[in-house]
Amino acid sequence: MGKIVHIDDDVMRAAEKIAAERGVTVDQAVSDLARRGLGHQQMWPLIERNGFLVLPHRGGVVTPELIRELEEEADLKDAGMLPKD
């Protein structure tokens, strides 16, 4: 079924890149991504506090040390010193 959908430029560029990587059309890539997104619908109520959405607790504390470690790991991956996921 064909429909006209207006997609932001950055999303379209990402969809085109994904389509090229997978060897499918942009239409197929967008449909697949939308299906995946719909399959992961939120299972919690959205709570807004001070203008920001509050995410549910996932069992861990984000500390400055953890952030530093993750930044360092990302930098090492970007430098090619660690395998990318």
Q: pTM of the full predicted structure? A: 0.44
Crossing angle (nearest 10°) for helices 26-39 and 9-22: 100
Q: Map tokens 């959205």 to a residue.
A: 46
**Residue 48 structure tokens:** 């807004």
Identify the domain containing residue 37 by its residue range.
Answer: 9-78
Number of structural domains found in the chain = 1
In a domain, 55, yes or no: yes
Given a contact cutoff of 8 angstroms between Cβ atoms, the answer to whether 47 and 53 are in contact is: yes
**CA–CA dist 19, 11 (Å, integer):** 12
| Residue 84 in domain | no
**Is 83 inside a domain boundary?**
no
Q: What does the block give as tokens for 54?
A: 């509050």
Q: How far is 34 from 51, CA to CA, in rounded Å?
A: 27
**Residue 2 falls inside a structural domain:** no
State mean pLDDT over 62-71.
92
pLDDT digits (tens, 9 = 90+) for 9-56: 999 999 999 999 888 899 988 988 888 887 765 556 667 889 887 877
